[in-house]
């Protein structure tokens, strides 16, 4: 019995080490991306007036770092953790699980929703439908991560002496499907709506071909940013949901957490560059408003292929 317990504990240590590598590499990647895009951010974002889109940008850009730094600090100092008291360990699990995915899902969904809504002429009925879908996605995500965190907290395992810290065993990973499945489906919907708008725009002028669709011929730089960047980063958001979904089914135990930081990082990378790329493409003067940035149909006296762009 003691031998089996020791074997299980050392397996836990090994999985914790691998998970730590994943957290550190994810934090390094998103930090590097922030450094690379910082000059563009200060040029196109910082000097603009405050709005809901600007606030969403800063949340999706920097919250991943804020969320990952304390986790990495704890996991790299001791393994499997720095926390000693089981009550504090429970609080740690609640914080790491709830404070990450649910906030990122609603923030990224908000950015994606505004992008798609702008492509469809800011239709009010469409906005209501998309808002309901986003709120439903957030509600499902919040419920699932709370249940997942509760399961982790109920199965806290103290590390045997002389090791410090605690971990958790047998989490109910099935509840996390309520977060990943709706989010994955919503990301696919946003991607499909973006591609459909691209097809409609090309069909309007009778030149639907693979070459024109691939090269986005005849479009203004702003619409190219809407469609091309939107498609790429919507696809990345779908990838994040798919990774989380597969991890729930295929991987079990602590090692499953290797996917968690990369889900946050993909959300952060995609959401930030969605806004930054569009802002850079449309900002031909320093006074461009966020309202114009997020709309593909704001008039500024320049019309391209029958459509007016900011």
In a domain, 305, yes or no: no
pLDDT of 110 reads 85
Instruction: Give domain status of residue 308, yes or no.
Output: no
Instruction: Quick: pLDDT tens for 83-125.
Output: 445 567 777 777 777 777 677 778 878 888 888 888 788 889 9
Q: Are 90 and 156 in contact (CB under 8 A)?
A: yes
User: pLDDT class for 291, splitting at 50, 70, 90?
Assistant: low
Q: By residue range, what is the domain housing residue 231?
A: 15-294
Backbone angle region of 217, left / alpha / beta, with phi > 0 → left and psi within -120 to 50 → alpha? beta
Lowest mean pLDDT segment, chosen from 147-151, 193-197, 208-212: 208-212
Reduce the secondary structure of 10-25 to three states and give it as a string.
HHHHHHHHHHHHHHHH
User: Is residue 194 scored above 60 in pLDDT?
Assistant: yes
Structure confidence at residue 297 (pLDDT): 47
Determine, yes or no, domain membership for 94: yes
Give the β-pairing of 307-308 and 303-304: antiparallel
Q: What is the pTM of this model?
A: 0.72
Q: Is residue 307 part of a domain?
A: no
| Residue 83 confidence (pLDDT) | 47
The set of residues, in sequence order, having a beta carbon less than 8 Å from that of 164 and lying 6+ positions away, is 78, 81, 82, 84
Measured CA to CA, the distance from residue 169 to residue 258 in angstroms comes to 16
Residue 301: inside a domain, yes or no? no
Residue 186: CB atoms within 10 A of its CB come to 23
pLDDT tens digits along 205-249: 555 555 555 555 555 555 666 666 666 766 776 777 677 666 666
- For residue 307, pLDDT over 80 is answered with no
pLDDT higher than 60, residue 259 = yes
Question: CA-based Rg of the chain, rounded to a whole angstrom?
Answer: 22
Q: How many CB atoms lie within 10 A of CB 66?
A: 10
User: Is the residue at 192 inside a domain?
Assistant: yes
Say how many domains are in the chain. Answer: 1
Q: What is the CATH number of the domain that holds 165?
A: 1.20.1070
8 in a structural domain: no
Q: Judge whether 246 lies within some domain.
A: yes
Region of poorest pLDDT, from 48-62, 73-87, 150-164: 73-87
Residue whose tokens read 């605690």: 166
Which range, of 72-86, 94-108, 289-303, averages the lowest pLDDT? Answer: 289-303
HSE at residue 26, side-chain half, CA atoms within 13 A, is 27
């Amino acid at each position: 019995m003691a031998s089996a317990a020791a074997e299980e504990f050392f397996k836990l240590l090994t999985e914790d080490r691998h998970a730590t590598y994943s957290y550190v590499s994810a934090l390094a990647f998103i930090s590097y991306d922030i450094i690379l895009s910082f000059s563009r951010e200060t040029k196109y974002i910082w000097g603009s007036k405050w709005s809901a889109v600007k606030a969403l940008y800063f949340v999706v850009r920097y919250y991943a770092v804020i969320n990952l730094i304390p986790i990495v600090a704890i996991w790299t100092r001791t393994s499997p953790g720095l926390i000693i008291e089981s009550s504090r360990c429970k609080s740690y699990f609640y914080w790491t699980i709830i404070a990450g995915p649910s906030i990122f899902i609603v923030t990224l969904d908000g950015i994606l929703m505004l992008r798609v809504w702008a492509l469809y002429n800011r239709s009010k009925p469409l906005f209501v439908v998309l808002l309901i879908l986003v709120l439903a996605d957030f509600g499902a995500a919040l419920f699932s991560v709370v249940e997942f965190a509760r399961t982790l907290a109920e199965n806290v395992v103290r590390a045997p002496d002389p090791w410090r810290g605690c971990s958790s065993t047998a989490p109910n990973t099935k509840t996390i499907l309520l977060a990943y499945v709706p989010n994955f489906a919503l990301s696919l919907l946003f991607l499909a709506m973006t591609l459909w708008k691209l097809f409609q725009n090309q069909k309007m002028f009778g030149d639907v071909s693979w070459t024109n669709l691939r090269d986005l011929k005849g479009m203004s730089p702003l619409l190219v940013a809407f469609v091309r960047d939107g498609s790429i980063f919507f696809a990345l958001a779908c990838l994040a949901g798919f990774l989380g979904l597969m991890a729930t089914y295929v991987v079990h135990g602590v090692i499953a957490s290797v996917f968690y930081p990369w889900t946050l990082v993909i959300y952060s990378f995609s959401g930030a560059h969605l806004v930054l790329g569009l802002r850079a493409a449309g900002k031909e003067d320093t006074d461009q408003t966020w309202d114009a940035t997020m709309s593909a149909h704001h008039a500024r006296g320049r019309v391209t292929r029958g459509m007016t762009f900011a």
